[in-house]
Amino acid sequence: MSAVYPVLIAALALSGCVKRALLIESSPPGAAVQINGHPLNHATPVTYEFVTHGPYTITLSKSGFREIRAREWVRAPWHQWMPLDFVTELLLPITFDDQHRFAYTLQPATPAERVAAEPTPDVQDLLVRARGAGDPAQRREACVLLARHHLQAGITTLQAVARQDADAGVRASAVQALRVLAGREAVPTLIAALREDPDPSVRWQAAAALEAAPALE
């Protein structure tokens, strides 16, 4: 009996193993990955070592693209069927690769989906920035965000900015925002901008907005 132990020890030392892994790829690459709700530390392409076969929920997300949530069934290969798994994992001096590749194509998000994914900005902060920010770029951005997020509370402020702001670019942004937000109620402000604004770019924006006004009711 004592002679059997060295043989068993040698057999175990030479025993094989199985390397189980999910290979997750995306086009374009660089998507964040979650498996069963747990985020991975690396973006696609990424390898995830798993323990058991069965269902896995794979979620991919990337800025500017629609999220993908896929339910995948990872099936055991023949060498992992009982009782063969005992032989392949413990007795054969061979390493088996149990790899499963999943490749996904990310679809670009629509403008509306991208806006919906953005956090809604603070309305009061935007109103203050639209009228009082010292940097014209910040005032323009505030006008754009008021329109992008359809914040009706900004209409009165935008009308004042379109008439009074010292920067032509800010006035033009306010006119564009009114076209999106206000509809018919923006017409008096747009007419005033078309007739009275000294900058041709603002007048052009006002004319374009007035031309679209019937569709904004």
pLDDT tens column, 18-60 = 688 999 999 999 999 999 999 999 999 999 998 888 899 999 9
Kindly write down the DSSP assignment for every residue of 90-132, as one continuous string. IISS-EEEEEEEEEEEPPBPPHHHHHHHSPPPPHHHHHHHHHH
Q: Before 45, cis peptide (omega within 30)?
A: yes
Closest to 102 measured CA to CA, from 143, 45, 177: 45
Provide the whole-model pTM.
0.54
Q: What is the C-alpha separation between 36 and 50, in angstroms, rounded?
A: 12
Lowest mean pLDDT among 81-95, 103-117, 122-136, 172-186: 81-95
The domains found in the chain, sorted by start residue, are 4-108 (2.60.40.1120), 119-216 (1.25.10.10)
Question: Largest Cα–Cα distance of the chain, in whole Å?
Answer: 107
Instruction: Please report, for residues 43, 96, 214, the alpha-carbon distance to residue 100 in angstroms, rounded to integers and kept in the order given.
Output: 17, 13, 57
- Would you state the pLDDT for residue 152? 87
Tokens standing for 168?
């032509």
- The DSSP call for residue 87 is I
Residue 136's pLDDT band, with cuts at 50, 70 and 90, is very high
Q: Quick one: CA torsion of 44, 47, 48, 49, rounded to 10 degrees?
A: 180
Tokens standing for 213?
């006004």
Indicate whether 92 pLDDT > 60. Answer: no
CB 161 within 8 A of CB 139: yes
Indicate whether 70 pLDDT > 90. Answer: yes
